[in-house]
Chain A
Amino acid sequence: MMHTSDIAIVGGGPAGLSAAIVAAEQGHRTLVIDRQTVLGGQLIKQTHRFFGSKAQHAGTRGFEIGKALAAQVSGNANTDVWLDSTVIGYYREDGILLVERPQGLATVKADRIILATGASEKALAFPNNDLPGVYGAGAVQTLMNVHGVLPGQRAVMIGAGNIGLIVGYQLIQAGVQVVAVIEAAPRVGGYWVHAAKLARAGVPIHTSSTVVEALGEESVRGVRVVKVDSAWRAIPGSEFELDCDLVCLAVGLSPLVELAVLAGCEIAYVPELGGYVPWHDQEMQTTVPGIFVAGDAGGVEEASSAMVGGELAGLAAANSLRPFAGHGERMSSAREALAALRAGPTADKVRGGFAKLAAARQGRCST
């Protein structure tokens, strides 16, 4: 049977839930579809306290923010939640989503669709990067913080961005020895407050260094590391080995854009935002009218900005269905919040990425 809805939201993470809250608030029948069995997306494994301002739950731990957003969405009479449900198709001709549910296949026809599908972890190319014991940083978080299982005993973290630093500290909190953090750039990319926690715990952070190969037969028993010069070339004679049974890759994320591609949204390649990104305007609308994007799916950033982006998409989608009073003010204050989150040197890359995306759109529109 076909399910109809005013607004269908694919993904129940920080962006999707924030979109659902504002959309349902305007009286629209909203459907949130998520492939996991709990709402919250990757917030469920974030144990650190968030930054930003009060509006983005600063000072609260990520998993608690996830619970609060999920409760708000689940408790709303205008909102349906489908869990354990994966959107596996989109038919352009009639705008129908195909969803795989535990009880079988379902179709959804919605007037507006918000893609909040998140991102997947990037791998790094080096020999033996596929050995058991080489994990994405998110996988390590999921194992420890959601399932209470240790991924190993001695860890080497690759990447000193915020994810690498935060997960490095979470490994220590769970009782894993962090042998070192390896970072190819000449300086730490994440917030100093996170780096300081590792430094206080005595973890060396090797900047201008990269992994040459993982060692081991059936699983990882170490890594070989080399220093790199300012042009990222390996410096001969600078190689050293580290013993570990766990290599954690925190080298970035790529937006999950399959549905956007399937729907015919124009896609731009913006490495600063994680790779292929659906073009979207200030209202978070893609080049396909009625399809919006929010959160990491529209450019990899942080959970805080994903929440604000979700709010923008939810407000815009709701207003496009039925204009409401105060829409303009709420959009501008959300945009201001986003600008504040993107202020500061650690967000240089993201700001540059969105500028590039906007320029690519203009170039496209003028031709």
Chain B
Amino acid sequence: MRITQHPILDYPPKREVRFTFEGREITGYEGEPIAAALHAAGVRLLRETPKGRPRGLFCAIGNCSSCYVVVDGVSNVRSCVEPLRDGMVVARQIGHGTLPEAVDHDAHQ
């Protein structure tokens, strides 16, 4: 949920952009962290650890690795600091990440 009224702060309007998370289309603000847009849309489960534990946002400033997601095929993206761009394809990261261009070892044998 977005904060619409605050006694101290103003939230200046930003440009809306569309992205997808797990195939679902979501609207967020350009340049805000991906995790902020996901939280605003009610999504808090961002990752599943190699041991199958659900994980979400913890530090929100890029210190920890709790909020890793896959963005446009790239693993281990810190959703708390990665700016949202129009058309991003975001997915939950399941287990360890994979290299962006996975090497087909069989093909080289």
Contacts and interface: CB of A to CB of B under 8 A. Distances in A.
B80 to A, nearest CB: 8
Given A149-B40, A150-B2, A173-B7, A132 B46 contact: yes
Interface stretch (A138-146, A318-326, A350-358): A138-146
A139 B2 contact: no
A279 interface: no
A144 B3 contact: yes
Contact of B57 (A37, A143, A150): A143
A120 interface: yes
A133 interface: yes
B40 A131 contact: no
A190 B6 CA distance: 24
Contacts of B64: 120
Nearest to A123: B58
Interface string B47-59: 0010001111111
Interface stretch (B16-24, B31-39, B101-109): B31-39
B8 A218 contact: no
Given A133-B44, A150-B1, A219-B45, A143 B59 contact: no
Contacts of B5: 175
Given A132-B54, A148-B2, A47 B8 contact: yes
Contacts, number: 93
Contacts of A194: none
A147 to B, nearest CB: 4
Describe B's contact surface by its main secondary structure.
loop
Interface of B: 1-3, 5-9, 11, 32-33, 36, 39-40, 44-46, 49, 53-64, 66, 80-81, 83
Given A120-B63, A134-B58, 5 more contacts: A37-B83, A132-B57, A136-B58, A138-B59, A138-B60
23 contacts: A120-B64, A121-B59, A123-B58, A130-B49, A132-B44, A132-B55, A133-B44, A135-B57, A135-B58, A138-B59, A138-B61, A140-B60, A142-B60, A143-B57, A145-B9, A147-B33, A150-B39, A151-B57, A174-B3, A175-B5, A217-B54, A219-B54, A256-B63
